[in-house]
Structure 1
Amino acid sequence: MSQPGQGHRSSISQNSRSASQFPNDSEELTDTELVKQVNDLKHQIKILNLENEIIERTIMRLEPALMHGVQQALEYATKLQSSSSLNVGSFLKSQTSRFGFDSLMSPSRMLTSPSKISTRRVESSAKIGGTVIFGSGPRINVLERSELVITEMEILIDFLEKVRSKAAKQHALLKAQLEEIGVRVVDIEKATEMFNQQVIIEGWDKIAQRIPAEIWIRFMTEWVKMADSKIGKLRLRTSTLNTQYGKLKGQIKVKAELSESLRPVDFDKLKIENDECTKIIDQKIQQLGELKKMTGDANLTLAVHKKALMEQNTYLNDVLKTIKTKIKQTAELDKEKNVIQIQADSLAQKLEDVRKVRQAYEVPDIMDYVQVKAEVTDLKHSVKLLENRVHIQQIALTSLNKKLQTMFLNN
């Protein structure tokens, strides 16, 4: 290797935590060893990048003024590295002394930190900076590294929780907006369908070939009434939700105040009260079990009495039906009785008349009857003879009329 490369390697080997892993320049490396060395260097570079990122975040959080000029120095060092890698170490030393990196090593600067914890973390970061950049100074141990990592992880977790909460609120807001837009779209589609059906289709006047203004005005009036009713309902619902929100907000405020004023004694008191309440609940559960047993017995007795009552009700319904039937039959019998009474009265009257006739009737003599019968027979015979005589005379009259007609016709 070239001489500048050897100088750069020697400066890095002084700062590296695993300088023994690099072989001497006189040794020749095989391909496997070279690949392994490159992989190890990549892994170390990745770890160093993570450590630098954590230290930079810690410094920016605790004392941002310490990072002034670092970015310019790193950019300038990157530009010079391509032309002269030999002067990187001296350039970094001069740039750090120019931009105030010596303040990282001075303990007087650490005294201006807001707390002991921040002072210790800045000192740790200063130690790391001295170790990595200058190649000298104390190194941070594993505990300090883990403390820095845990602190940054906690900060990052808090930040992620805040972002998650904010994203959840934004998601809920967007979901509510989407629901509102969906409701608006549905209302617009319904209003459009109603307008097309009532105004354009049904309101078209075939004779005048136009839509009358009265239909349009009536549709708009009805639509405005519907909108006013919906607005009233939404206002009532909004007022209800606002009232519930105020109540919940007040409850949350009261709970927050109570949580601030709570003491361990309060928890002990609450535990004692909970134990007493648990005992009371156990007693109430036992009483509830006994009440359930009593309720079961009462239900059984009630079922028996209910069954008997149902039978009595059935018998009562049968009796009531029989009574109604008997009442109907009685009414019919009364009607028949009245009819029979009328018939009996009329028959009694007829019987009385017959009795009177019978009492007043006298049986005639047989000879009188025979004489009357003989007279009737003679009269019938005389009537028959007279009828025959009339018939003969009619025949003679008919013949005479014919003769007269013939005589008139001959003349």
Structure 2
Amino acid sequence: MMARMSVCHSSRSIISHRGFNYMNEAEELTDADLIKAVNELKQQIKITNLENDILERTIMRLDPTLMNNIQQAIDYASKLASSPSIGGSFMRSQTSKFDFSQSKILSSPSRASTRRVESSAKIGGTTVFGTGTRINVMARSELVNTEMETLMQKLLNTRKKAAKQHAMLKAQLEEIELRVEDIEKASAAFNQEVIVDGWDKLAQRIPAEIWIRYMTECMKISDSQIGKLRLRTSTLNTQYAKFKGQIKVKAELNDKLRPVDFDKIKIENQEALAIIDQKSNQLEELKKMTGEANLNLTVHKKAMWAQNSYLATLIDTIKTKERQAKVIDKERDVIQVQADDLAARLTEVKKVRIAYEVPDIMDYVAVKAALGDLQKGTKLLENRLRIQHIALNSLQSKLRIMNA
């Protein structure tokens, strides 16, 4: 606003000094020069409006009482611009007021608080309006930066409040949607169970028992849900108190801890990581040794099973030969036939022995696991059948009581 009045005064001073020569020069300007001058004036007006806005914000932020005489001064300045016949006594009185206001603005608690530029111009022993204390470029820059920081802080606060309000509204919308969904489900269930299924065609009405039973079931479901929600609320409150205590402890530690403590913890962590790596390497070595031992054990087991099977085959063959030797003494006539049969059987035994393989233990384990799963499934089915029998018996007893 001070800049606005200084522009008004400068325009009036130019007109008073040049008089009709200025009008003659304006008439001699070309169209391009006039357009250029108009554009410059528009740009200057835009800059002046911005400066006025910044100054007004600064005055309102620092001392709003200084704005009491600003509007009156603007009105008088507009009157001066419209009627040059008004004397200069008011200009001198208002100049002193603006000098006082500007000195207060420059002495405000900002980064330009120590900068004050005073310039006064006297023409013919009288103080010219608008030529008192002025704000230089650096002071204007400091004012603009201060206002920008204030606006940015206000913007951040507004964004935070808007984010909180948005989250609150979103939560309320979600709650309302859940309530609407529950109401719709309850309404559909009520219509289906009470109005549609509970309608008595003979009596042409809805029995009171159906209504009471439906309300009782709804109350039971509500009580169970309320109990779950109370348990969840208590759990959340416990977690909140726990987290609050942790935050308090962390804040106290943040005040008490020093960088040396963090360095100490870092060194201890590095030592612990080195020990963990060492133990991990040892564990890997032990795993390798265990795997090799298991492999050797498996190989020896297979060899032992093969020897046992071969030994059993040999024992069976020896017993057979002993029986055959006893039979040979009694049956000398059929010895050739029996010898051929024995040779064939020996061949078969050799083939079986060559083709015989020890069964894998993992197949047995898989079959055993499948058998255990089947047994578990059988037990579960039996339990379900028993529970269903109990429920059926209870329902039958209820039906008997209701029929009685």
The one-character-per-residue Cα deviations of 1:123-171 (angstroms, maximum 9, x if unpaired) are 67x99xxxxx943134333332222222111111111111111111111
Kindly report which structure 2 residues correspond to 1:50-129, keeping only aligned pairs within 5 A, or say none. 50-74=50-74, 77=77, 80=79, 84=82, 86=84, 93=91, 96=94, 100-104=97-101, 119-120=113-114
Q: Which amino acid aligns with 2:284?
A: K
| Counterpart code for 1:26 | E
Q: Residues 9, 74 of structure 1: CA spacing in aligned structure 2 closer, same or farther, 3 A cutoff?
A: closer
Per the alignment, residue 277 of structure 2 pairs with 286
Letter in 1 for 2:38: V
Unaligned runs of 5+ in 2: 1-7, 17-21, 120-127, 310-404
Q: 1:334-364 CA deviation, whole Å, 9 max, x = no partner?
A: xxxxxxxxxxxxxxxxxxxxxxxxxxxxxxx
Asked whether the 8 Å contact 2:102–2:133 carries over to 1, the reply is no
State how far apart, in whole Å, the 1-side matches of 2:86 and 2:218 are. 81
- In the TM superposition, 1:10-409 aligns within 5 A as 10-11=12-13, 26=25, 28-74=28-74, 77=77, 80=79, 84=82, 86=84, 93=91, 96=94, 100-104=97-101, 119-120=113-114, 134-259=129-254, 261=255, 266-284=257-275, 286-287=277-278, 290-291=281-282, 293-294=284-285, 297-298=288-289, 300-301=291-292, 304=295
Q: TM-score, normalised by structure 2?
A: 0.58
Distance 1:224 1:213, change over 3 A: same
The two structures have a TM-score, normalised by structure 1, of: 0.57
**Residue identity in the other structure for 2:41:** L
Task: Quote the Cα distance in structure 2 between the aligned partners of 1:116 and 1:47.
Answer: 22
**Aligned partners of 2:299, 2:86: CA distance in 1, in Å?**
111
Q: Distance in 2 between matches of 1:35 and 1:68?
A: 38
Secondary structure at 2:25's aligned position in 1?
Answer: coil
Q: Percent identity?
A: 49
SS in structure 1 opposite 2:202?
A: coil
Structure 1 residues 252, 275: CA separation in 2 closer, same or farther (over 3 Å shift)? closer
SS at match of 1:101: helix
| Separation in 2, partners of 1:70, 1:194 | 71
Secondary structure of the structure 2 residue equivalent to 1:206: coil
- Aligned-partner Cα distance in 1 for 2:300–2:208: 71
Look up the equivalent residue of 1:93 and give its one-letter code. M
Q: How many residues align?
A: 288
Distance 1:248 1:309 in 2: 59
Whichever residue aligns with residue 71 of structure 2, its letter is Q
Gapped runs of 5+ residues in structure 1? 1-5, 15-22, 128-132, 320-411
Cα separation, 1, equivalents of 2:234 and 2:186: 27
| SS in structure 1 of the partner of residue 216 of structure 2 | helix
Provide the alpha-carbon RMSD of the alignment.
4.3
SS in 1 for 2:206: coil
The one-character-per-residue Cα deviations of 1:91-134 (angstroms, maximum 9, x if unpaired) are 98378469x43532567x987x6x5858548x67x99xxxxx94
Match of 1:246, as an amino acid? A
